[in-house]
Amino acid sequence: MAAKTKSMHQIKQVIELFQKGKGIRETERLTGISRKTIRNYLHRIKSLDIPPETLLAMEDEPLSQLLYREAAPVLVGDDRYKIIERQLEYYTTELRKRGVTRQLLWEEYRKEYPDGYGYTQFCEYITRHLQRNQAVMHFTHNPAEQMQVDFAGDKLHYVDSSTGEMILCEVLVCVMPYSHYTFAMAMRSQKQEEFIRGLCYALEYMTGVPQSIKCDNLRSAVTKSNRYEPQFTEAMEYVGAHYGTTILAARVRKPRDKASVEKAVDLSYKRIYAPLRHHIHHSIEELNAAIRKQLEEHNSRLFKGKDYSRKKLFEEEKFLLKELPSSRYEMKHVTSGKVNRNYHVIVGEDYHHYSVPFTLIGKQMKIIYTADTVEIYDDMNRVAIHKRNYKRHGYSTKEEHMPANHRHQFAAKGWNAEYFEKQATAIGDSTLAVIKKILASKFFYEQTYNSCLGILRLGRHYTNERLEAACKHALPSPVLNYRTIENILKNNRDKQSTLFNEPVSLIPKHHQLRGPSAYQ
């Protein structure tokens, strides 16, 4: 559309020439307006589907508003507008119904009024009516009055380093509407326990408690939604009582009730999701550390066109917050389980196995668990405490709970090349060189682990000093293994010095062996 550089007199001149059937070239010659501008105006005039004589009869201001879509014009003398004006509310209602389109409504309109508006102008009046009915009210938020919370629609993820599996995470976003100070945290799910834990971390991040917390109608928070008196879960009531705040719920399908957090979610996609899109994290803790770093940058960034940031505003707001209670609210679950033959009990909610001392096999244990920890009791005595693990059918095992023979097998699972090289380094350079040669002698490192273990254990029997000397003697040998080092130590060859670092022959002298002189 051409810019508003032409007077209404010129535009009416174009309309009049168009009414008389003049072509674009002739209109250009008569008005002095470029052909491109004339085409733009003619295209707009045709799309209005209003007779030229009606347009020419209009005052300049209504015609300007019509052409440039600044406001819906009042078409004096146009009966078609009076007809459609009466039905705009009906069309608005019908458009909310599934499958009803503007095209369908226009076709029904033209069947009833064959001389009515064309499709473009019909849609234009509906659009303007909708815009008038969708006016947005500005809300003024008082400091420390409320914290709004919501889950982001998109998820973040981390990669389990042990399995390579990509684990999707929900992201909880919380914001203080007065300062727009924002908190975000990756969580394993939207379950009630996780949601409450996220709220606790958010309040700690804010360093205080607002007068109210407003959330969406989540199943983890609201048992029965109602515009006036929603019913919250018992746990959420406890959270409100513990922190001395009021829990509120937004109206169903009314996102503007918590517009601040909706905006914060949108900004989190730009300020958190986008910068982290190429980063790989191997635990939810690592992911949250990265989120926290991005949050600091976001909250410290100046508002556009202003000389202060969210963080600066919040510094003024936080002094009005209530003090945090002395302890964090923790939602505890109590269950029981029998210790299996593998000295583990099962937390049924995650179906994860946790170890206890093997001497308790067959006994019934009391299990108390929260979002972070699992405590296991034998009567009143706590016998084990674990960090909670949400991996289904997984095992959390502590070495001190194992029988002696199981500990050996457990330690063997941790063997790798780095482990043996680190142990050899503590003994000496020659021992390290021998270990490296043995590790490199097989295609699979695991085939050499027993040899390396045996060599390192020789130091316990013969001392590390003798083991280092034996390895120094053995290095020039073309064959290196456990037997080679053991024979040197058994025969005390490590105590014999070699002149000029000559290679040590591992072949014993014998009268039946012929030397080089026999072949001259």
Task: Determine the pLDDT at residue 226.
Answer: 61
Task: Determine the pLDDT at residue 505.
Answer: 54
Count of domains for the chain: 4
Q: Both 125 and 160 in a single domain?
A: no
Q: Which of 392, 410, 428 is the last residue of a domain?
A: 410
Q: Which of 320, 346, 370 is the last residue of a domain?
A: 320
For every one of its 520 residues, what pLDDT tens digit does the chain have, with 9 covering 90 and above? 444 456 777 888 888 888 888 888 888 887 788 888 888 878 777 766 677 777 777 777 777 767 765 444 545 456 788 888 888 888 888 888 888 888 899 999 999 888 888 888 888 888 877 777 665 555 577 888 899 999 998 999 999 887 788 999 999 999 999 999 999 999 998 888 889 899 999 999 999 999 999 888 777 777 776 665 677 777 788 888 889 998 888 766 565 667 888 888 989 998 999 999 889 999 999 999 999 999 999 999 998 888 889 999 999 898 999 999 988 888 888 889 999 998 999 998 888 999 999 999 999 999 989 888 999 999 889 999 999 988 888 889 888 898 887 776 666 656 677 888 888 999 999 999 999 888 887 655 556 777 888 899 899 889 999 999 999 999 988 888 888 999 999 988 888 754 334 454 555 556 666 666 666 5
Q: Both 211 and 296 in a single domain?
A: yes
Per the domain annotation, does 290 fall within a domain? yes
For residue 147, give the nearest of 242, 60, 212 by alpha carbon.
Answer: 212
Q: How far is it, in rounded angstroms, from Cα 114 to Cα 472?
A: 105
Per the domain annotation, does 512 fall within a domain? no
Q: Both 357 and 468 in a single domain?
A: no
Q: 376-413 burial by CB neighbour count: b if 16+ within 10 A, else e? A: bbbeeeebbebebeebeeeebbeeebbeeeeeeeeeee
Residues listed for the chain: 520
Q: Both 187 and 41 in a single domain?
A: no
Tokens 């979002």 correspond to 371
Residue 336's identity, in one-letter code, is S
Task: Determine the pLDDT at residue 2.
Answer: 40
Q: Both 174 and 278 in a single domain?
A: yes
Rounded to 5°, angle at Cα 455 from 452 and 461? 145
DSSP-assigned letter for residue 322: B
* β-strand pairing of 231-232 with 364-369: unpaired
Per the domain annotation, does 1 fall within a domain? no
Please state at what angle helix 482-490 crosses helix 464-474, rounded to 10 degrees.
110
Q: Both 267 and 161 in a single domain?
A: yes
Per the domain annotation, does 153 fall within a domain? yes
> Residue 286 is part of a domain; what is its CATH number?
3.30.420.10
Which residues are CB-contacts of 229 (< 8 A; sequence separation ≥ 6)? none
Q: Both 386 and 291 in a single domain?
A: no
Domain containing 290 equals 146-320
Q: How far is it, in rounded angstroms, from Cα 14 to Cα 12?
A: 5
Q: Which of 380, 410, 440 is the last residue of a domain?
A: 410
Q: Both 183 and 47 in a single domain?
A: no
Q: Both 302 and 153 in a single domain?
A: yes
> Residue 32: left (phi > 0), alpha (psi -120 to 50), or beta?
left
Task: Determine the pLDDT at residue 508.
Answer: 58
Per the domain annotation, does 286 fall within a domain? yes
Per the domain annotation, does 217 fall within a domain? yes
Per the domain annotation, does 519 fall within a domain? no
Per the domain annotation, does 509 fall within a domain? no
Q: Both 370 and 479 in a single domain?
A: no
Q: Both 93 and 188 in a single domain?
A: no
Q: Both 310 and 357 in a single domain?
A: no
